[in-house]
Amino acid sequence: MARTVSVSISLQSQPHRHRHLPSAAKHHHHPFLRFPKRNHCNLSFSVSASHSSSSSSSSSVPNPLQTGRFLTNEELENLEFLGNYSYHQELESGLLWVRLMREEEMDMTVTLLSESFAESMMMATGYVKLLEFLVKNYLIERRAMMPHSATLLGIYRENGEEDFELAGTVELTFDKKGANANPPTPTPPKNSPYICNMAVRKSLRRRGIGWHLLKAGEELITKMSSSREVYLHCRIIDEGPFDMYIKAGYSIVKTDSILTLLTLQRRRHLMRKELPDSENASELDTGNEQPTSSV
């Protein structure tokens, strides 16, 4: 199972520095990436021709992204940029690659999130299938909101291994059009970027994967949104993620009332961070001193 750092679906280590890998170094030996057989699905990952950890748009997208609605030219350009975005990080234990979730990867993402929610809410494993149904419907709805929102996947390869596996996921909202209709409380501003539903597979925690999912999300937000105030939620009981967010520069804006407990919900902090401008996005990397946490 995996642990959820932040849940917004309406269901009520010490890594090395982040470096921009040249195209040949990143992709020459891995034209296709695949999950090992032990995972829920065995998929092949074709690597897009990105040229840095934050890819620029190219003239075409190898696998066109479908949203099921009419898009303006600007939205099409942003959608193409999302499809080409890529963030790489060498960790002490392996290589992490963060990019947009593709349609064929939805089922395994659903499983990861459902197991996370079941764990965080201390639900019986028998409820996981019900959660999977609800989470899949949610992800389908959120996918239709692209390019105003995005779900990123963290794909990880252990040192000495050939196969990559799904390690984690995080959801981003870039603007008001992508805002969740029923966000958790305390309610974040709808016109500001928002980070939620971050989860890391239980067997891969304490390797810095959660930290770099957060960093990749922040980096992408600086390129997709004009707003520099980003918000997220953290449950009061989640001390590890809370320490990570504080280390990353987030501060508490508001905390749920104790009356929230009457609704059988855990109390949450609403946290905020001011991101640097896109051209200064390198400031998002704070070096090697990363917090020890469960993500």
Report d(CA 115, CA 128) in Å as an integer: 6
Task: Sort strands 165-173 and 251-255 into parallel, antiparallel or unpaired.
Answer: unpaired
Sign of CA dihedral 135, 136, 137, 143: positive
Q: b/e for 132-167, b at 16 or more Cβ within 10 A?
A: bebbbebbeebbebbbbbbbbbbbbbbeeeeebbbb
Cα–Cα distance measured from residue 172 to residue 234, given in angstroms and rounded to the nearest whole number: 15
Using CA atoms, how far apart are residues 188 and 227, in angstroms rounded to an integer?
14
86, HSE (Cβ side, Cα atoms, 13 Å): 24
Is the CA virtual torsion 203, 102, 153, 155 positive or negative? positive
Nearest CA to 184 out of 269, 252, 103, 262 is that of 269
Catalytic residues, by residue number, are 245
E strands in the chain: 2-4, 32-34, 44-46, 86-90, 94-100, 149-158, 165-173, 194-201, 229-235, 251-255, 268-274
Q: Report the relative pairing of strands 2-4 and 94-100 from DSSP bridges.
A: unpaired
